[in-house]
Amino acid sequence: MRVSMTVNGRSVGAEVEPRTLLVHFLREQLNLTGTHVGCETGYCGACTVMVDGTTTKSCTMLAVQADGASITTIEGLAQDGQLHPVQEGFWERHGLQCGYCTPGMIMSAVGLLEANPNPTEAEIRHGIEGNLCRCTGYHNIVKAIEYAASKMRGETPAPAEWEVKA
């Protein structure tokens, strides 16, 4: 089947097997390997992308279902060489270790902050429950999202814990 969609601002068209999952289409056919596969059951969230502005687990969607849609993957998040504030937050606050869950986690956080620009810690934690991380214990992911939320509101982020302790 032929599908066409906009991925990271670029129009793409390709022949796919009807059973092809969106994540496999992105990774295997478009070579956008930043979106990861962690569980194949929609639980871990490593495959999270934006489909028409909504965070979507791309292993739960067929490529043909995304026909005509506008997709943003982790590769398309930075604009004009400028990191998205969530990407910056993850770097500034040590929000990643192995990095495997990170693209999906960042995309979920972007969606969370678009819906709620000033979340509490509890709201952040609830908002990323669909994304599993095995390395960070979530502590610094929460800090990274708090950092990004401050930046996106035009405020100065709170200092890092290691700066406070030092």
Partner 1 sequence: MSTTSVLGGVIKRREDPALIKGRGLYVDDVKMVGMLHVAFVRSPFAHATIKSIDTSKALSQPGVVAVYTADEVRHLGPLLAQVAVGKLRPLLADGVVKHSGEAVAMVVAEGRNEAEDAAESVEVDYDQMKAVVNLKEAAANKAKVHDDLDSNVLITWEAGPWGNAEGIAQTKQAIADAKVQPEVVIVSQEMVNQRLIPTAIEPRAVVADWNEGYGRFTVYSSTQIPHALAGAIAKTFGLASNAVDVTAPEVGGGFGAKLNVYADEILVCFASMELNAPVKYTESRRESPNNTIQGRGWVATATITGRHDGEILGFELEGIADMGAYTQNFTVAIPFLGTFVGSGQYKFPTYWKIDCVATHTMTTDAYRGAGRPEAIYYLERIVDVFAREIGMDPADVRRRNYIPASSFPNAVSPIGFAMDTGDYAQNLDALLATAEFADLKAQRDQARSEGRHVGLGLSSYVEVCGFGPSALVGLGFSWSTYDLPSAFNGSGLVRVNADGTATVIIGTGPSGQGHETTWAQLVANELGIPTDDIRVTHGSTAESPMGVGTFGSRSAAVDGSATYLAARKVRDKAARIVAHVLEASADDIRFEDGGAHVAGSPDKSVTWKEIATHAYQPHTLPEGVEGGLEAHSVFSPANATWPFGAHAALVEVDVETGDMQLMRYLAMDDCGNVISPMIVDGQLHGGLVQGIAQAMFEEAIYDADGNCLTTTLLDYPLPTAGDVPSFDLHRTVTPSNVNPLGVKGIGEAGTIGSAQTVVNAAVDALYDLGVRHIDMPLRPRRVWQAIQNARKS
55-94 positions binding partner 1, by CB under 8 A: 73-75, 77-78, 83, 87, 90-92, 94
| Tokens of residue 91, six digits | 């770097």
Question: Quick one: which segment of 50-58, 62-70, 95-103, 151-159 binds partner 1 (CB under 8 A)?
Answer: 95-103
Q: Indicate the SS3 state at residue 112.
A: helix
Taking residues 40 to 59 in sequence order and writing x for each that binds partner 1 by CB under 8 A, - otherwise, the string is xx-xx-x-------------
**Contacting residue, 3, 22, 32, 61, with partner 1 by CB under 8 A:** 32
Supply the minimum distance, in Å, between the C-beta of residue 46 and partner 1: 6
| CB under 8 A, 24+ apart: contacts of 19-22 | 19/62, 20/62, 20/63, 20/64, 21/58, 21/59, 21/60, 21/61, 21/62, 21/63, 22/49, 22/51, 22/56, 22/58, 22/59, 22/61, 22/62, 22/63, 22/65, 22/66, 22/71
Q: Using CB under 8 A as the criterion, which residues of the chain lie in contact with partner 1 when the complex forms?
A: 17, 19, 27, 31-41, 43-44, 46, 73-75, 77-78, 83, 87, 90-92, 94, 96-103, 106, 121, 124-126, 128-142, 160-163, 165-166
